[in-house]
Structure 1
Amino acid sequence: MSKEFKPTTWAAIHNATLPAEGAGNQTFDNRILAGAVLGVPAFITYSLGLGAWSFLFLTVLLFLPILACTLYLFSRFAPRYRNHIPLPGKPIESYLTFHDAELRAKYHGRNKIPMETFFEAYFVGKVDFNGDPLEIMELRHDWAAFQFTYGQFKFFLTQWLPETFWHSREQDENQVRDHYDRGNDFYEAFLGPLMVYTSGIISDPTKRETLEELQENKMELICEKLHMKEGDKHLDIGCGWGTLVAYAAKHYNTQSTGVTLARNQVAFGDKRIEEWGVKGKANLLCMDYRDIPKGQKYDKISAVEMAEHVGIRRFQTFLQEIRELLEDDGLFYMQVAGLRATWQYEDFIWGLFMARYIFPGADASTPLYWYLRQLETAGFEIHNVDTVGVHYSATLERWYENWMKNKGAMTEKYGSKLVRIWEIFLSWSVITSRQGSATCFQIVANKNRNSFDRAALICNRTNPRAWKSKRG
């Protein structure tokens, strides 16, 4: 008998009001999928009197359509996994107001709307929330269906798969500049003055820390995990607006270099470097990470939520290039978005939304085991791993609050559709990162050499006594 669910009351995060479990891999039967993938071509081959080669051809030809049909049927009809948290059972009109007559006629009472159908309609003003978007999204299991739609399959086949297999330099450049050169005011509207587009860190779950405190906690933690010290040559790949580069140079007296493809980020970061008085110690370069000069070696290398954009196909090459840039006694810090292996259909639907509207090309978000295997294959030894998804949820909530405060100004400049897309992104991501659908891993690694001084790493956050001794 499971314990009764008790709502949490942590000050640091937005606490769940209805953390219901959805259908997913616990209710998905691979035997049925295998039977369909092999059975349908076999039936056609037998019925038409065809040979073995025809069976193989049909199996390849029909694989994706059969996979799509199977996933659609399972996502639509599979029961929820564990019904230990009852749903309120309210009519959909309690949560949403439909302005479109066709949608209003189709979705009423207890008829749930597919999530993709909902957010596509929301983007163009055909439907609105009856209240705060985040609060209504918390109750989504009572009004939304997490079933795959034609639009998602079309995006997956015609855009996501080709981009994943291709993932060219030109594609990366176009996607990054289209996204990050949109306008610094757009990002400042939710990121705040520090302009850090990665997860912050909670220092105390019983305290309500500001966004700036969360981000400063994170930057200090990165520097400490990397054992930064005066004079260290530090490279930050995918540095964004250069905040970590400037922070390390200011507080740890490092020689820090940041690399980004976005011109706006370099211009903004250069001003910050000057304002913080670290010109000469901090430097930003507008270039592709592939073009980082190979002759230079670095004591510390960081890649904070950048590696996802490298792509699965090129990930191993990327890690090997980092290994060549790293000194033999150096440390590599990789903070990277991840997904859980025990998936639910909501996880995939959220992921496809993110790939289409928020981070196109970021196809390397995977479960933890894949990252660790890639690092070890590239010749790294894993020193430390932390999962910080709930910290990301707290960060996203602050971003959401900032965005809603600046909604009017952003709508006036960028239009209603983009503002609504960001509302869904931020509110939904507060939830997915808190519940484990999506998460973030902090990984510290070193070259796996016999001569590496592993004892020097005993002074870390898992050993408070040694840590206190190291810090004085």
Structure 2
Amino acid sequence: MAASYEEPGPELETDVEYIKTPAAQPSKFEGPDCGFPTTKSPTINNPPLPADGPGNTSFSNKLFLAVILGVPTYLAYKIGGGIKTAVFFALIAFFPLLVTYWYISSAYSPPTNDKVKLPGRPIEYYLTFKDEADRLRFSGRRKVPLALFAEMYLDGKVDFNGDCLDIMEFRHDWANFGFTWQLLRFIVFNFFTDVIGHSRQQDEEQIRPTYDTGNLHYSWFLGPRMVYTSGIISDPTREETLEEMQDNKLALVCEKLNLKEGETMLDIGCGWGTLARFASVNYGARVTGLTIAKNQTAWGNDALRRAGISEDQSNIVCMDYRDMTGVKFNKISQIEMGEHVGIRKLTTFFRQCYDLLEDDGSMYVQLSGLRQAWQYEDFVWGLYLNKYIFPGADASTPLWAYILCLERAGFEVKSVDTVGVHYSGTLWRWYRNWIGNSENVIGKYGQRWYRIWELFLAWSTIASRQGSATCFQMVVVKNLNTVHRIDGVPSQYGLHGAIAASKAAGKSKLAQ
């Protein structure tokens, strides 16, 4: 679960001393050729072992249904019961059977792809277990379940023999992706209840502590832009800075929206207000940013005022999005905020956005997503995030589900881009910032908190690069005949086209 919540007060940008993102260090674990081509890009952390684990290719839906339906039916038959008895057994046995089936299939299924050769090193090469019992249990080629390892690492029961990200890149050599009973218990008793819930009170109790942990905490990995969403790579031939990548993204959002001077813009889940400041300063927009985190509100408004943006032009407002009614905006943006809305409520949320948007307006939606052709590691990683980093955030889905919700809410999709590998490059820089600020973090929050985020940033760097997770950018307009779609053709950009247009207009960088 997340750290206990203590509201520390709104540290502002002037209270922060940022470090330069530390240079990437060479791997200490480069081994023999993995037998498969690898990349050598300067802008991402390249995978030395691009292996695949077990997943949907070996998961039998027919066998799963046979177990779920067949076992209760067989039990009812054995005691001489009928349909009602079978239904009764099905209700009480569903979760135990589900948990057992997942546990067995995740532990014993073959890998999705066996083309990559593993180094075959003993687990002691990568990890040091503190307890003798654990050293005996996990030794030689006896691998540790990754979900169990994560808990042990946070508890200080095991250490990496080197850099966290470096060794996580070789996790296929020392870990398996089987579900643990603790993980399955979290799914049943915590994750499922979050999916069903998402009341106003629940969202505030989960989200406010997450983003009011302290602005300093986030500055120690986000850097000067304080943007907690994916940046964009514009030049894959060099290592762009984190600030360059975030400016690329901010410019891209404004260009894809075809944002004009004087237009009104609503940024839902605005974070620390950097997009609001960028759109106000560079594009002359009148921006309202919404967040339910008080510390973000204080930071964002302070930054707007120091940038010379008056309250009459733009503001960050501490408000639940459900309370924004009775007003229309030319443009709406929501960047990785919808995950906190919840799967069940996405269409309703998008419909509220529809009501807030002018008929000839456009909306930019950026959402983290999951691949349809899943692997078990994807779930283990995602549930770690839900438990420790983003409590209550369950609306990460394949692309088709987002499109369906948007269309049901009355929108028409104008463009879609996938930026998972860009997210990996962003996370790689966040990870290095976090490592560079380790003394500050441990001194303020302690070793366990440092490790929670160290593992999150390292693991997510890998997940977004390999496709376990990704991020979708969607621009939508109202599906009305009064929308003149021809007017949207000049701004129907891909990633690089939008960035190039902003650079050509001299609007692509945020002045600090």
- State the Cα distance separating 1:279 from its structure 2 match: 2.0
Q: Deviation per CA, 1:289-325, whole angstroms, max 9, x where unpaired?
A: 1011x22100000000000100112111111100000
Whether 1:259 aligns to 2:290 is yes
TM-score (ref. length: structure 2): 0.89
The alignment status of 1:279 with 2:310, answered yes or no, reads yes
**Structure 1 residue 464: Cα displacement:** 6.0
Q: Residue 475 of structure 2 corresponds to which residue in structure 1? A: 444
Matching residue of 2:367:
336
* Cα deviation code 1:422-472 (max 9, x no counterpart): 01100000000000000000000000011111111111325969x879967
2:220 aligns with 189
The secondary structure found in structure 1 opposite 2:53 is coil
SS of 2:56's partner is coil
Is 2:299 the partner of 1:268? yes
Post-superposition CA distance 1:223-274 (Å, at most 9, x none)? 0000001011000000000000011000000000100000000111111101
C-alpha distance in structure 2 between counterparts of 1:468 and 1:246, whole Å: 19
Match of residue 13 from structure 2: none
- In structure 2, which of residues 434, 439, 459 is the aligned counterpart of residue 408 of structure 1? 439
3-state SS of the aligned residue for 2:344? coil
Q: Provide the rounded CA distance (Å) in 2 between the counterparts of 1:97 and 1:464.
A: 49
Please give the residue correspondences for 1:26-425 in structure 2 after superposition, counting only pairs within 5 Å.
26-280=57-311, 281-292=313-324, 294-425=325-456
Aligned match of 2:466: 435
**8 Å CA contact 2:259, 2:331 repeated in 1:** yes
Match of 2:7 in 1: none
Higher relative contact order (CA 8 A, sep 6+): 2
**What per-residue deviation string (whole Å, max 9, x for no partner) do you get for residues 108-132 of structure 1?**
0000001111011100111000111
Q: CA deviation at 1:56?
A: 1.2
C-alpha distance 446-26 of structure 1, shift in aligned 2 (>3 A): same
Which residue matches 1:461?
Answer: 493
Q: Return the alpha-carbon distance in structure 1 between the equivalents of residues 222 and 362 of structure 2.
A: 28
**Aligned-pair CA distance for 1:168:** 0.8
State how many pairs are aligned.
Answer: 468
Q: Which AA in structure 1 matches 2:467?
A: G
- Separation in 1, partners of 2:410, 2:338: 17
Q: Which amino acid aligns with 2:99?
A: A
**C-alpha distance in 2 between matches for 1:383 and 1:326:** 15
In structure 2, C-alpha distance between the alignment counterparts of 1:193 and 1:277, rounded to whole Å: 18
1:15 equivalent to 2:46? Answer yes
Instruction: List gaps (5 residues or longer) in structure 1.
Output: none
Name the amino acid aligned to 1:375: L
Q: Structure 2: how far apart are the matches of 1:272 and 1:76? A: 50
Structure 1 runs, 4 residues or longer, greater than 3 Å off: 462-465, 467-472
Could you say which residue in structure 1 is the equivalent of 2:19? none
Q: Calculate the aligned-residue CA RMSD, in Å.
A: 1.7
CA pair 24-469 structure 1, distance change in 2 beyond 3 A: closer
Aligned residue for 1:348, secondary structure, equals: helix
Amino acid at match of 1:461: Y
Distance in 2 between residues matched to 1:30 and 1:105, nearest whole Å? 37
Give me the whole-angstrom Cα distance separating, in 2, the residues matched to 1:101 and 1:358.
31
Relative to the length of structure 1, the TM-score reads: 0.97
Aligned-partner residue type, residue 289 of structure 1: Y
**How far 1:368 sits from its partner (Å)?**
0.2
Change (3 A) 1:378 1:206: same
What amino acid sits opposite 1:152 in the alignment? L
Take 1:192 and 1:103, find their aligned partners in 2: how far apart are those partners? 38
- Residue 277 of structure 1 deviates from its aligned partner by 1.1
The farther-off stretch of 453-462 and 207-216 is 453-462
Are the structure 2 counterparts of residues 318 and 167 from structure 1 closer, same or farther at C-alpha, using a change threshold of 3 Å? same
> Alignment partner of 1:314: what SS?
helix
Moved more, 430-439 or 79-88: 79-88
Distance 1:428 1:4 in 2: 23
| Counterpart-to-counterpart distance in 1, 2:93 and 2:224 | 52
Q: 5+ residue gaps in structure 2?
A: 1-33, 506-512
Query: 2:49 aligns to what SS in structure 1?
Result: coil
**Could you tell me which amino acid in structure 1 is paired with residue 321 of structure 2?**
Y
What letter is aligned with 2:322?
A: R
